[in-house]
Structure 1
Amino acid sequence: MPELSDPIVFSILLAVLLALLAAGLWVAMSLIVMAFVAIAFFSNAPEGLVLATTLWGHSHSWPLAALPLFILMGEILLRSRLSEDMFSGLAPWLSRVPGRLLHVNILGCAIFAAVSGSSAATAATIGRMSVPELKERGYPDSLILGTLAGSATLGLLIPPSIILIVYGVATEQSIARLFVAGVLPGAMLVGLFAAYVALRAFMNKDLIPDEGPAVPFMEKVKASRRLIPVLLLICGVIGTIYSGVASPTDAAAIGVVLSLILAMLSGGFGMAQFKEALLSATRTSAMIAFILMGAAFLAIAMGFTGIPRNLATWIGTFNLSPYALLAVLTVFFIILGCFLDGISVVVLTTSIILPMVEAVGIDPLWFGIYLVLVVEMSQITPPVGFNLFVIQGLTGYNILKVAKAALPFFFLLLLGVLLITAFPGIVTVLPNAMGN
């Protein structure tokens, strides 16, 4: 048996994984095969027994029960008229802000992210509502596409985030604390995106079309009533988690009930739409659960081979500071995100990366938010940027045009990573205030 720290071991396992992914095999199956090879050739453990016990043991998890519920909530909202109500409620207040209705994309995505947990669902829902409106009013395509692509990534960060649930389950971190940790970084990104749009509008006043006469204050207040259902849903889900009244799983169940009630009251949502939402949520949940089972088997396999421990020791020989390690990991995750979706990136890397991260004293809770921010960047980078595909489908534009429009927001997300690295309190202050 070769030495486990030998680079040949890493090369073989990496080649197996890349070959399987390149052949088009499902991510979950690729993880299982890679783990099987690792145990069979680089450990003395009985691979069949380990496979059976791991998959069975990780096929049921109470924290993971929140995942299909939040996905179902997003699917229900995707098929309701609440997104149209958001546009009508926000637009009057933003008609005089530098950048005007482009901020509807940003704030609309932030609000919908707080009730969907999905980046792709956020892009599809807000884009379907805002793109035709903004194009008709004469806003530039580059900013319409860029603000939508960039802001839709907030669906991964602002709670309830599906990818934070995946990270929490994979690393045994508190999902409630992860949700709370994502609030301030999410608000920070909203501020960065809005400031960029305002700066572009200020530097080139001809870029943004005039919205006509100002809307009277009482008309704005009247229009704001359409935001009440969405705000109630956010308070019902996030408020119960933050106050400690409900666990994330309980809050997800509350969210499904509230979203169903609001969708039916808003009109246009019936039994046919509910069946579509159920089927779509079931497919997505099954896919993610299968990936997580494969990732659990990989994590166990890595433990038997000793690869994470040896890799952490090897990295330790370079005496990298936490900042140097984060710089290397950022480049690594950006490259990996060009070829894999966000959930796959998280489940593929946590079992190997987390020991290194903890070895240099980085808080796993903080690292979860950092990882989501970096994964957000991968959502708007070709060739596998999911948000780019969603927006291409909505608009019919070439994907390279969409990617070019999203490029400034890629750098704003990178700035967000630098800010939480320089000021980690942005991530940790709320969870610390919340306690355990």
Structure 2
Amino acid sequence: MEPLTLGALVALFTVLVLFSGISVGAGLLVVATGFLFFVDGARSLEALPELFFGELNSFALLSIPMFIIMGAAISSSRAGPDLYEALERWLTRVPGGLLVSNLGACALFAAMSGSSPATCAAIGKMGIPEMRKRGYPDEVAAGSIAAGGTLGILIPPSVTMIVYGIATETSIGRLFLAGVIPGLLLTLLFIAWAIFDTWRRGAAGVALSGIKYSWRQKFEILPRVLPFLAIIVGVLYALYGGIATPSETAAVGALLCIVVVMIVYKMVQPRALWAILRDSTRESVMILFIIGAAGVFSFMLSSLFITQSVAEWIGGLDVNRWVLMAIVNLFLLVAGFFLPPVAVILMSAPILLPIITAAGFDPYWFAVIVTINMEIGLITPPVGLNLYVINGIAPDISLKKVLFGSLPFVGCMIAAIVLLSVFPGLATWLPDFVMGKAI
């Protein structure tokens, strides 16, 4: 059978298996072992256990559970509500200020926790009722939080960027830096739309709550928020200052977050600490299992010459490189509709990266493009994880309203991709400035 035909069958069966409800990691293993057995026989399965564990035999992977512990410690405390309240106190007199403060809180909390669902839950529990009480439409209140939660996979430290770096063997530190300016750009685009939408609806009067906070009230909440921001800044400084590796900085950051949570929020009960470690372990194992399974899946694609044939076919297309990039973006967008970001990156990045670099695109710039596509997938059906999180927080707001409220922010993400395509230096300048040009 021709490799391209075989590749089409693999794609079809992968979609069918994953739609059956099986977990992503298990589904990839089922498809990989099944095609290897039927095409190459039972002997081809002998190396699979070694391949699976070989994918996990990387010191860089230690940063994933450490950053997850860091985020779980923050998510389990009142850091999210405190961060929201701090911004609300400082921005309450700005037209559209409550909406802006929600988006700002989402961006900061997402950067601290690295988890989109956790961000939606932490900020949404306070932000959505408060916005509705102030007269904001339900779709605006819900959609803004759903979109704001996606920023966590772009703004460093980002677990998604770590996975991309491991899958493509690129520098994690450089990937983190590549996400800084695009992350700020996307946050500013979200805020700009929020201010414009408030003005367009004539809701400036609604946005002003009438509550006046004294300078004392504005400053008294900062000591509960600033320690976490200081930890993030310290982790990034240690990483980019050459003081420690990503895994080492993640471990120190996780320890410091747990200590701050214990001191600031008095979470010293063994049950509370156990919950942090339990939830972190569960999420870490899920991601690491997908990584191992994706390694086996990639081996199957390579050993059956599917990867090479697809790359050769795409490379042979007589199209402009921007047309090629548009096709790749469309593929990533559709894949993000159905699969979580980690799975899409592990399955597609090793195949797409050689094609992208051969077309003259920067791999770190491409990482940002991939991540923004994955952000869109988090707020679009049928998977759209953030949509369901918001619906769980505010069940009286229909999924339809949450979706329509988040669509303008999808437009902001598409605008960000266009801006990054026109000005690729937005993603590449900071890594080159701090770490020198990549060889």
User: How far apart, CA to CA, are the structure 2 residues paired with 1:431 and 1:46?
Assistant: 45
For structure 1, which runs of at least 5 residues remain unmatched after alignment? none
Alignment of 1:127-206 (within 5 A): 127-206=124-203
Post-superposition shift, 1:51?
0.8
Q: Does 1:342 align with 2:354?
A: no
Post-superposition shift, 1:404?
1.1
- One-letter amino acid of the counterpart of residue 31, structure 1: L
Post-superposition shift, 1:218?
5.6
Indicate if the aligned counterparts of 1:43 and 1:304 stay in contact, CA closer than 8 A: no
- In the other structure, the counterpart of 2:406 is 406
User: How far apart, CA to CA, are the structure 2 residues paired with 1:350 and 1:50?
Assistant: 23
- One-letter amino acid of the counterpart of residue 283, structure 2: T
User: How far apart, CA to CA, are the structure 1 residues paired with 2:16 and 2:226?
Assistant: 50
Post-superposition shift, 1:391?
0.7
Indicate if the aligned counterparts of 2:37 and 2:45 stay in contact, CA closer than 8 A: no
Mean CA deviation greater in 46-55 or 99-108: 46-55
Indicate if the aligned counterparts of 2:94 and 2:208 stay in contact, CA closer than 8 A: no
Q: Secondary structure at the match of 2:58?
A: coil
Post-superposition shift, 1:213?
5.7
Alignment of 1:14-25 (within 5 A): 14-25=11-22
For structure 2, which runs of at least 5 residues remain unmatched after alignment? none
Over 3 Å counting, the alpha-carbon distance change for 1:206 and 1:363 in structure 2 is: closer
Alignment of 1:191-340 (within 5 A): 191-206=188-203, 208-212=206-210, 214-217=212-215, 219-269=217-267, 270-340=269-339
Mean CA deviation greater in 370-379 or 78-87: 78-87
Over 3 Å counting, the alpha-carbon distance change for 1:430 and 1:57 in structure 2 is: same
- In the other structure, the counterpart of 1:389 is 388
Indicate if the aligned counterparts of 2:93 and 2:208 stay in contact, CA closer than 8 A: no
User: How far apart, CA to CA, are the structure 1 residues paired with 2:216 and 2:26?
Assistant: 58
> Could you tell me the TM-score, scaled by structure 1's length?
0.94
User: How far apart, CA to CA, are the structure 2 residues paired with 1:44 and 1:422?
Assistant: 49
Indicate if the aligned counterparts of 1:28 and 1:290 stay in contact, CA closer than 8 A: yes
- In the other structure, the counterpart of 1:423 is 423
Q: Secondary structure at the match of 1:101?
A: helix
User: How far apart, CA to CA, are the structure 2 residues paired with 1:290 and 1:74?
Assistant: 20
User: How far apart, CA to CA, are the structure 1 residues paired with 2:286 and 2:9?
Assistant: 27
Indicate if the aligned counterparts of 1:127 and 1:148 stay in contact, CA closer than 8 A: yes
Indicate if the aligned counterparts of 1:123 and 1:387 stay in contact, CA closer than 8 A: yes
- One-letter amino acid of the counterpart of residue 401, structure 1: K
Q: How many residues align?
A: 433
Q: Secondary structure at the match of 1:338?
A: helix
- One-letter amino acid of the counterpart of residue 407, structure 1: L
Post-superposition shift, 1:216?
4.6
Over 3 Å counting, the alpha-carbon distance change for 1:321 and 1:45 in structure 2 is: farther
Among candidates 31, 37, 53, match of residue 56 of structure 1 = 53
> Could you tell me the TM-score, scaled by structure 2's length?
0.93
CA-to-aligned-CA distance 1:337-358 (integer Å, 9 cap, x gap): 2211111111221232223222
Post-superposition shift, 1:135?
2.6
User: How far apart, CA to CA, are the structure 1 residues paired with 2:94 and 2:234?
Assistant: 30
- One-letter amino acid of the counterpart of residue 252, structure 1: A
- In the other structure, the counterpart of 2:369 is 370
Over 3 Å counting, the alpha-carbon distance change for 1:45 and 1:351 in structure 2 is: farther
Post-superposition shift, 1:45?
9.9
Post-superposition shift, 1:271?
2.0
- In the other structure, the counterpart of 1:72 is 69
User: How far apart, CA to CA, are the structure 2 residues paired with 1:170 and 1:416?
Assistant: 24
User: How far apart, CA to CA, are the structure 1 residues paired with 2:243 and 2:370?
Assistant: 28
User: How far apart, CA to CA, are the structure 2 residues paired with 1:404 and 1:332?
Assistant: 23
Mean CA deviation greater in 232-241 or 74-83: 232-241
Post-superposition shift, 1:83?
1.8
Post-superposition shift, 1:335?
1.6
Indicate if the aligned counterparts of 1:83 and 1:129 stay in contact, CA closer than 8 A: no
Q: Secondary structure at the match of 2:46?
A: helix
User: How far apart, CA to CA, are the structure 1 residues paired with 2:124 and 2:374?
Assistant: 21
**Superposed CA RMSD:** 2.0
- One-letter amino acid of the counterpart of residue 165, structure 2: G
User: How far apart, CA to CA, are the structure 2 residues paired with 1:172 and 1:234?
Assistant: 24
- In the other structure, the counterpart of 2:433 is 433
- One-letter amino acid of the counterpart of residue 349, structure 2: T
- One-letter amino acid of the counterpart of residue 243, structure 1: G
CA-to-aligned-CA distance 1:353-382 (integer Å, 9 cap, x gap): 223222212222211111001000000001
Indicate if the aligned counterparts of 1:89 and 1:226 stay in contact, CA closer than 8 A: no
Indicate if the aligned counterparts of 2:294 and 2:347 stay in contact, CA closer than 8 A: yes
